[in-house]
């Protein structure tokens, strides 16, 4: 598979170097490890640290910025960062108020963030963890704690980062993160596989098929189906999200239509058109929409849809301004 790289072993470091060079006024690399933090002078707020495997850009480093996360630890492609990398990012982003780690619920990530938090404790650093478990397809209703974390991380980081900026305590910031996670759901499909740098495609999908509920690393979905019209696929996804969130008429939501890498804006707009139609029919009000590539799987073609149910508290935090190189919100007028 063709990719614009130099040496396979240098992909992560060179990509990170390019990101930091492009954003040197606002971001800096963490010494000695593959991590990035934002340049900030406020040492009186809880810092937010996240991280995970590379290949999902702009997640994770692209969520680091004003009103969002303060640092990101990066692993190899589709692999968790090691505990030492995470620890160094925590220490570099640490403030007097402590650190909250937002961790997507994959075995390697939870294990390594857990070890890093324990190591931080030995240095008398206050570190808490909140898990992201928004992927409806990865475990049935009633077993939400077993679900994977995927594109809904964008929404959860948005409101959690806002809570930190407003000066909330570490305990309160964690509470906001957990609440946002409870009210966020994602489901996606894959049309084509992806390939790790230097490798062949890591799974196969038939020319006339799509994978319903595919994971962001190529984990098998709920089932393989025959390709059909976009409106039919979107209807199945949205009905699943609405049911899982127990949305009712009059509810207010934020929506994310996310390309997994190769899917075009032209297609994403077609997807959102049907999302809007379906929610309108149920009198579910879309407060805000984000369309684009936010949590990808290298060059995989596919789409995920995320919905976060808003209450007054989350809506207020969502309205706070935010800026990263890949996500911008002006704030409530």
Alpha-carbon gap, residue 176 to 179, rounded angstroms? 5
- Catalytic residue flag (residue 285): no
Considering 24, 27, 217, 285, which one is annotated as catalytic? Answer: 217
- Catalytic residue flag (residue 56): yes
Alpha-carbon gap, residue 218 to 190, rounded angstroms? 9
Which residues share a beta bridge with 100?
48, 128
Helices (H), 126-229: 153-165, 170-182
Token readout for 242 is 């609405």
Angle CA(98)–CA(99)–CA(102) in degrees, nearest 5?
160
Considering 24, 27, 56, 285, which one is annotated as catalytic? Answer: 56
The total of other beta-carbon atoms located within 10 Å of residue 30's CB is: 22
Helices (H), the chain: 11-22, 83-93, 107-122, 153-165, 170-182, 230-245, 265-281, 312-318
Which residues share a beta bridge with 305?
187, 257
216 HSE (CA, 13 A, CB side): 37
Q: Which residues are annotated as catalytic?
A: 56, 217
């Amino acid at each position: 598979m063709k990719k614009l790289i130099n040496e396979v072993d240098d992909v992560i470091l060179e990509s990170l170097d390019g990101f930091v060079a492009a954003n040197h006024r606002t971001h800096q690399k963490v010494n000695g490890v593959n991590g990035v933090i934002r340049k900030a002078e406020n040492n009186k707020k809880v810092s937010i640290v996240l991280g995970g495997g590379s290949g999902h850009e702009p997640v994770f480093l692209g969520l680091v910025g004003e009103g969002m996360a303060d640092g990101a630890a990066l692993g190899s492609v589709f692999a968790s960062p090691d505990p030492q990398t995470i620890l160094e990012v925590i220490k570099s982003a640490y403030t007097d108020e402590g650190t909250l780690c937002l961790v997507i619920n994959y075995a390697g990530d939870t294990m390594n963030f857990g070890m890093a938090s324990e190591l931080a404790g030995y240095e008398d650093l206050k570190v808490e963890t909140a898990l992201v478990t928004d992927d409806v397809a990865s475990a049935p209703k009633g077993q939400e704690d077993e679900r994977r974390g995927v594109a809904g991380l964008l929404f959860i980081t948005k409101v959690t980062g806002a809570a930190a900026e407003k000066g909330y305590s570490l305990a309160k910031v964690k509470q906001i993160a957990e609440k946002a996670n409870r009210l966020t759901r994602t489901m996606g499909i894959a049309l084509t596989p992806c390939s790790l740098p230097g490798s062949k495609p890591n799974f196969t999908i038939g020319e006339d098929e799509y994978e319903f509920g595919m994971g962001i690393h190529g984990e098998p979905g709920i089932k393989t189906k025959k390709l059909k019209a976009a409106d039919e696929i979107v209807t199945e996804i949205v009905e699943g999200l609405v049911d899982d969130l127990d949305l009712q008429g009059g509810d207010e939501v934020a929506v994310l239509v996310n390309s997994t890498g190769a899917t075009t804006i032209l297609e994403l707009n077609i997807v959102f058109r049907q999302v809007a139609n379906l929610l309108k029919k149920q009198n579910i009000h879309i407060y805000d929409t984000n369309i684009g590539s936010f949590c990808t799987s290298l060059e995989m073609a596919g789409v995920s849809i995320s919905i976060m149910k808003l209450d007054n508290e989350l809506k207020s935090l969502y309205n706070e301004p935010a800026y990263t190189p890949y996500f911008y919100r002006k704030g409530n007028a």
